Structure 1
Amino acid sequence: MSDNHSSKAILYAFSANLAIALTKTAAAVWTGSGSLVAEAVHSFADCGNQVLLFIGMKRAAKQPTARHPMGYGRESYIWSMMVAITLFSVGGMFSIYEGLERLHDNHAVENAEIAIGILLAAVVMEALSLKGALGAMRGEQGSRSLWRWFRETYSSELMVVIGEDLAALLGLVVAAAMLGLTLLTGNAIYDAIGSMLIGALLILVALAVGYEVHALLLGEADREIRDAVTDYLSQQPVVVQVFNVWAINHGNDVMLAVKVELLPDLTVSQAVSLSNSLEKNIKAAQPRVKWVFFELDNAD
């Protein structure tokens, strides 16, 4: 996915979440709803998260230096991990705390009908934000399911935005349902439970995002590129055997390390020329491959 698509997805989500956060805050003050307080905090946390993602994306685009010859592509993963931690602490833990407080105090909810209407409007805005993020994801997703894409993507910024939007949309549904039960029964305990459920949902999303970003930070392999390169090399007449192919994600780029055995009767000059030709073809077929390191050997 291009940086341009990433920027659009982040800015679109930020604009939508800021409008939603202000709307929820006004509704929370008006109604005294714990679920709405939790949702307002969640939306403001999302706004802050999108600022962090944008900073990470810009820092990841810095040019390589002598100290960092492969550039700063993985820095986007660090900022995405910060977002996962923020989502856990600010969003999830606060929402659970708010729910427990209201469960203990049994605070009355006022104007619940208006609050539900506001939540339904927020659902529409959040759905539009999610639609924009999913649209930016289409080109990278291909034929994969959303869950498989989430497990395999290298685009940590888009992964976080989609995770946040899904959590926000589900959280809004939970808040509306709990406020509806409060309105029907007159018992504010459902509103408090709603706040805690929203917090638990945010924590689950934060853990899932954090787990995937952690794998990227450690240097996760791109299995699709690895398998495609392995198949390509195995089909070349000059390649006797493919011992190893590593395709490691480095932000939007991939570092490729290849260990192969070529025909034994080649001269050094011929082997070098063939290696360069194979590298050129690999880069042409796999645009994300930025670095290729060939090792010629006759054993693994």
Structure 2
Amino acid sequence: MKEESPKAIFYALAANLGIAICKFAAAAFTGSGSMFAEAIHSTADCGNQLLLLFGLREARKPASPLHPMGGGREINFYSLLVALLLFFVGGAFSVYEGVHRLFAREPLQYAYVALVVLGVSVVLETLSLWGAVKEIRKSHPDKHLWRWFRETRESELLVVAGEDIAALAGLAIAFVAVLLTMVTGNPVYDALGSIGVGVLLMVIAWLVAREVKSMIVGESASPEVRRAIETHLRGRSEIRSIINMITLQWGRHVVVAVQAEMIDYASGRAMVDAINVIEADLQEAFPQVRWVFFEPDVPRV
């Protein structure tokens, strides 16, 4: 697996910062609840990207007596924080704002300004999503997005892609809500748009949080990596059979524990030397494999 690349996060941060400024100005100018909900969403996203960058830095902590495998999994913790913030700050607040405006029925002014800002935001969010998809395609060129979402072990990229998809869908909802309000003169559509954006954000946040929680609990390496490692080991002439193999994703790195039946050796030292060669060769073939625990054994009848 490649080293941490924050490019997608920087794309998203730059896009959301510009979008948030435009949306707050448009919300103040037009009085649009949908626009204000979108502005809060973009502001929350900026904070989320800063959290992810901090998490990537923490994940590079070296091994210590307290954390013998380093801080690689810290990024999962910060990714979960981002998902929770997306749910509460982005989603719940947008729903609250929409419900409030259902009762307040505040008129929408200069709706065309809101539509222009939403259109510009769509362009910027599309560029941000393009940056995230570009990073995804570097390592998974043939995997469709939903399968990648379910199988990826890159929590920070998962969060960025989820945010961008939620943002684009939310912008579409807000655009339709403002347009309907402008055409009909009924501010209820604008309030419903804000509620719709909030519900969408909470659904996306829940999906992201579910995936990140699984990473925190402890997931194996991705299915294709695990299969490739097992195939590599089964092809070693020193190994008679693989009894059991466990992989564990640890941030950007992988832990491999192997229980295998070895061929006959003249001495224990000869077997140890053979195991050392197997481990070194495995780490050369799979640079992401940082730790290998190898146990020679015999199959239990």
Same fold (TM over 0.5): yes
Bin for the TM-score computed over the shorter chain: over 0.9
Q: TM-score, normalised by structure 1?
A: 0.96
> In the alignment, residue 118 of structure 2 is paired with which amino acid?
L
**Could you say which residue in structure 2 is the equivalent of 1:146?**
145
- Greater CA drift, 171-180 or 235-244: 235-244
1:95 pairs with 2:91: no
2-structure distance, mates of 1:189, 1:84? 29
Shift of 1:3: 4.7
Amino acid corresponding to residue 291 of structure 1 in structure 2: W
**SS at 2:258 equivalent:** strand
Q: How many pairs were matched up?
A: 299
Q: Which residue in the other structure is 2:241 paired with? A: 241
* 1:182-220: CA deviation from partner (whole Å, max 9, x where unpaired): 112111111111111110111011111101111111110
Q: Which residue of 1 aligns with 2:39?
A: 40
Task: Indicate the residue corresponding to 1:232 in structure 2.
Answer: 232
Note if 1:276 corresponds to 2:276: yes
Q: 1:158-237 to 2 correspondence within 5 Å?
A: 158-222=157-221, 223-237=223-237
Q: 2:87 touches 2:201 (CA, 8 Å); kept in 1? A: yes
Tell me the equivalent position of 2:28.
29
Deviations 1:66-88 (A, max 9, x none): 11110000001000000011001
- In structure 2, the residue matched to 1:252 is 252
Secondary structure (helix, strand or coil) at the match of 1:72 reads coil
Deviates more, 1:272-281 or 1:246-255: 272-281
* Preserved CA contact (<8 Å) 2:4 2:56: no
Q: Secondary structure at the match of 2:106?
A: coil
Q: Which residue of 2 aligns with 1:20?
A: 19
The amino acid that maps onto 1:254 is V
- Which stretches of structure 1, 4 residues or longer, exceed 4 Å deviation after superposition? 1-4
Over the residues paired in the alignment, what is the CA RMSD in angstroms? 1.3
Cα distance in 2, alignment partners of residues 53 and 266 from structure 1: 53
Cα deviation for residue 134 of structure 1 reads: 1.4
Match of 1:123 in 2: 122
Counterpart AA for 2:134: G
Q: Deviations over 1:120-156 (max 9, x none)?
A: 0110011111111211222222311111111111111
| Residue pair 2:64, 2:70 contacting (<8 A) in 1 also | yes
1:4 Cα deviation (Å)? 5.5
Aligned equivalents of 1:2, 1:21: Cα separation in 2: 32
Conserved? CA contact 1:225–1:247, under 8 Å: no
- Relative to the length of structure 2, the TM-score reads 0.96
Identity %: 44
Distance 1:90 1:126 in 2: 19
Distance 2:51 2:102 in 1: 33
Q: Which residue of 2 aligns with 1:49?
A: 48
> Structure 2 unaligned runs (5+)?
none
2:157 and 2:232 map into 1 onto residues whose CA distance is 30
